[in-house]
């Protein structure tokens, strides 16, 4: 096959992605700052941005429990049931104040499990001043990192990289020996403003098919010999140095760079191994929107990272959140399009966490969600919700400081009030996770101090402490919220009771075990979140040293007991 025919067939063009293992990927690799970040980064932490395209309904994702009756009255036709029916909301955390308590959509059990393991958090009411509720403008604002009335041509990651690293020329100077990989990969069909650089053109190439197949085709191309005139010709001299000339040089350079990047991606991918985790493929409760596209994308990210990719930032997307109508089924508010989407995210993120653990990478990956706006508090007559303003942001990862940040919204309003400026979260991630100096964040990225500076709404922005000081095991966190608080009386004679605290619905087995490991007594109870007492009668139990053990899916705790007669 001739090179030009190959190019025309595969459609090289700016802004068109690689189809890598059948998944579209934007390669953002050649621009100067992206390359230098990998060489100079102070850590090997990875950031994944999960875009929920269309505007997620936060109130049916994180249901307010403290004022549930008002929530129900504002959206009775789509409200998630509480304490009635076969599918009810999942209380997230019974340890927080009543005003802050939330319930999860019934299909968000994966989020609950990650939260209980200390690997998830949620921020309530994330937005920006004068949110206009526009899809396109809203996405641009979140990606550029500006105010509603600002129009930057660069993204918040791009601005940091432009300021932090000295200029290099693309495409002729890249890739480098220190950074053979793309630093940023956008898995999807669009070129997002997020990665645009000040004064630079974003880099992307388009290839279709399995990367190994594409590599085989490329290896058969003849190429150009040194010293020969490029048969493509040369651009007119008057274009030299102009924006048009730069863009033409970039487009022509894509051909030469495509071979290098595909070779490297294939090399990294082949070094990785197939996943051992079970990713969800379909929504189990209905046929529509059943395919989980997020699972494929996260599997690809995990494999590339295991293969040694130095890529620092990934953008993955899942669409379908513009739920003006049929957000829920008319006959069951827990079912429908939104239910399937929340299942896809929660289940896929739980599988991704398991996958990263198997690969020994769970400590270095942080995922943060974003959606261009939330939905309005009242539902509409079409079993849906209309464009709103604020909404929740989720974070996932072993480094996450778990918790519910902020409180439930004032449901007397039509829109969810802003509690956090979205740049507070971005600034915290850059500072705490990526190791970016606070002055760089303030002066070169957001042009305002969102870590500790003055808040236009009054007071100052406070550090959010998004990231744990020390990454501990999931078992350490589980034990804080699933434990035997005490065994009393101890020493005991005729009876003793175990005071148990759990933070989820669990079938708890309580055992009395002797010094030889024999289970002397055992009982099982179905318990709801909160404190519970389970007792043992000891009249016929010989004196000695025993152990009281409580077990469930999330509870594994033991206390020593002395029995005296």
Nearest-angstrom CA–CA distance, 524 and 502: 14
| pLDDT at residue 31, rounded to an integer | 43
Q: Using one digit for the tens of pLDDT, what is the confidence trace for 337-391? A: 999 999 999 999 999 999 999 999 999 999 999 999 999 999 999 999 999 999 9
Residue 554's pLDDT is what?
Answer: 96
Burial class (CB in 10 A: 0-12, 13-18, 19+), 469: exposed
Using a pLDDT cut of 70, give the percent of the chain over it: 79
Domains in the chain: boundaries = 3-225+244-438, 482-563
Give the fold, CATH level 3, of 482-563: Immunoglobulin-like (2.60.40)
**How many helices (DSSP H) and strands (DSSP E) are in the chain?**
13, 20
DSSP state of 430: I
Q: Of 99, 97, 98, 72, which is closest to residue 89 (Cα–Cα)? A: 72
pLDDT in tens, 128-186: 999 989 999 999 999 999 999 999 988 897 776 666 543 554 445 667 787 787 767 88
**Residue 354: per-residue pLDDT:** 98
Which DSSP symbol is given to 462? P
94-98, 225-229, 303-307: range with lowest mean pLDDT: 225-229
Residue 207 has pLDDT above 50, yes or no: no
Average confidence (pLDDT) over 13-20 = 50
pLDDT of 199 reads: 63
* pLDDT mean over 494-518: 96
Q: For residue 9, name the pLDDT band (cuts at 50, 70, 90).
A: very low
Residues above pLDDT 90, as percent of the chain: 62
Q: Is the peptide bond before 489 cis (omega within 30 degrees of 0)?
A: yes
pLDDT beyond 50 at 8: no
User: Which of 171, 169, 146 is CA-nearest to residue 156?
Assistant: 146
Question: Residue 193 has what DSSP assignment?
Answer: G
What is the reported pLDDT for 165? 43
For the cut 50, the answer to whether the pLDDT of residue 210 exceeds it is: no
State the chain's mean pLDDT as an integer: 84
Q: What is the pLDDT of residues 433-481, one digit of tens each?
A: 988 889 989 988 999 999 988 888 788 898 899 999 888 777 788 999 9
Nearest-angstrom CA–CA distance, 96 and 147 = 32
Task: With beta carbons less than 8 A apart as the criterion, state whether 379 and 59 touch.
Answer: no
So what CATH class is 3-225+244-438?
Answer: alpha beta
Q: Counting beta carbons within 10 angstroms of the beta carbon of residue 349, is it exposed (0 to 12), middle (13 to 18) or buried (19 or more)? A: buried
Q: Is the pLDDT of residue 256 over 80?
A: no
Q: How many Å is the maximal CA-CA distance in the chain? A: 102
Instruction: Give dist(CA 529, CA 520) in Å, integer.
Output: 27
Secondary structure, 3-state, 8-69: HHHCCCCCCCEEECCEEEEEECCCHHHHHHHHHCCCCCEEEEEEECCCCCHHHCEEECCCHH
Q: CB of 211 within 8 A of CB of 266?
A: yes
* pLDDT single digits (tens) 335-351: 999 999 999 999 999 99
CA atoms of 144 and 155, how far apart (whole Å): 4
Confidence bin at 260 (pLDDT 50/70/90): confident
Least confident of 72-86, 240-254, 436-450: 240-254
Burial annotation 103-137 (CB, 10 A radius, 16+ → b, else e): bbbbbbbbbbbbbbbbbbbbbbbbbbeebebeeee
Whole-number Å distance between alpha carbons of 479 and 477: 5
Is 525's pLDDT higher than 90? yes
User: Which pLDDT does position 40 carry in this prediction?
Assistant: 45
Q: Write down the pLDDT at residue 33.
A: 44
- How many other C-beta atoms lie within 10 A of the C-beta of residue 139? 22
The CA-based angle 486-491-497, given to 5 degrees, is 40
So what's the pLDDT on residue 392? 98
- pLDDT confidence of residue 257: 65
């Amino acid at each position: 096959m001739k090179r030009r025919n190959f190019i025309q067939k595969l459609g090289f063009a700016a802004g068109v992605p690689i189809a890598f293992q059948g998944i579209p990927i934007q390669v953002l690799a050649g621009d100067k700052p992206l390359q230098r970040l990998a060489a100079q980064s102070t850590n090997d932490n990875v950031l994944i941005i999960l875009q929920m395209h269309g505007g997620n309904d936060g109130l049916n994702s994180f249901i307010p429990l403290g004022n549930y009756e008002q929530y129900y009255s504002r959206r009775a036709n789509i409200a998630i049931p509480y304490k009635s029916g076969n599918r009810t909301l999942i209380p997230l955390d019974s340890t927080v104040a009543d005003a802050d308590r939330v319930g999860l959509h019934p299909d968000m059990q994966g989020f609950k499990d990650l939260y209980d393991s200390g690997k998830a958090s949620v921020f309530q009411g994330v937005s920006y001043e004068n949110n206009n509720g526009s899809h396109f403008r809203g996405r641009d604002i979140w990606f550029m990192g500006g105010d509603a009335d600002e129009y930057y041509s660069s993204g918040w990651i791009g601005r940091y990289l432009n300021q932090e690293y000295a200029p290099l020329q693309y495409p002729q100077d890249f890739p480098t020996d220190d950074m053979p990989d793309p630093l940023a990969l956008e898995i999807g069909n669009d070129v997002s403003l997020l990665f645009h650089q000040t004064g630079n053109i974003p880099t992307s190439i388009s290839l279709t098919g399995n990367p190994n197949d594409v590599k085989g085709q490329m290896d058969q191309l003849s190429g150009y010999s040194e010293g020969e005139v490029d048969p493509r010709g040369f651009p007119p001299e008057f274009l030299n140095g102009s924006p048009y000339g730069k863009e033409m040089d970039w487009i022509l350079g894509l051909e030469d760079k495509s071979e290098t990047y595909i070779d490297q991606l294939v090399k990294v991918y082949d070094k990785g191994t197939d996943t051992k985790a079970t990713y969800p493929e379909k929504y189990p409760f209905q046929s529509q929107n059943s395919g989980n596209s997020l699972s494929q994308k996260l599997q690809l990210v995990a494999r590339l990272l295991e293969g040694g990719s130095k890529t620092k930032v990934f953008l993955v997307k899942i669409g379908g959140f513009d739920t003006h109508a049929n957000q829920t089924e008319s006959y069951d508010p827990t079912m429908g399009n939104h239910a399937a989407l929340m299942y896809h995210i929660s289940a896929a993120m739980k599988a991704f966490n398991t996958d990263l653990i198997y690969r020994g990478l769970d400590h270095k990956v942080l995922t943060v969600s974003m959606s261009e706006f939330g939905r309005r508090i009242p539902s509409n007559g079409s079993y849906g919700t209309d464009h709103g303003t604020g909404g929740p942001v989720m974070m996932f990862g072993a480094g996450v400081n778990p918790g519910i940040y902020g409180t439930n919204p004032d449901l007397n309003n039509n829109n969810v009030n802003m509690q956090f400026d979205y740049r507070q979260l971005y600034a915290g991630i850059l500072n705490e996770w990526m190791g970016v100096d606070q002055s760089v964040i303030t002066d070169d990225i957001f042009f305002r101090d969102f870590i500790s500076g003055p808040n236009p709404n009054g007071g100052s922005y406070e550090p959010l402490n998004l990231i744990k000081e020390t990454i501990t095991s999931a078992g350490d966190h589980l034990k804080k919220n699933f434990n035997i608080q005490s065994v009393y009386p101890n020493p005991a004679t005729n009876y003793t009771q175990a005071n148990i605290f759990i933070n989820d619905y669990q079938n708890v087995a309580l055992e009395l075990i002797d010094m030889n490991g024999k289970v002397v007594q055992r009982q099982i109870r179905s318990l709801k979140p909160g404190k519970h007492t389970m007792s043992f009668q000891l009249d016929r139990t010989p004196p000695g040293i025993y152990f009281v053990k409580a077990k469930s899916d999330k509870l594994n705790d033991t206390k020593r007991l002395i029995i005296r007669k």
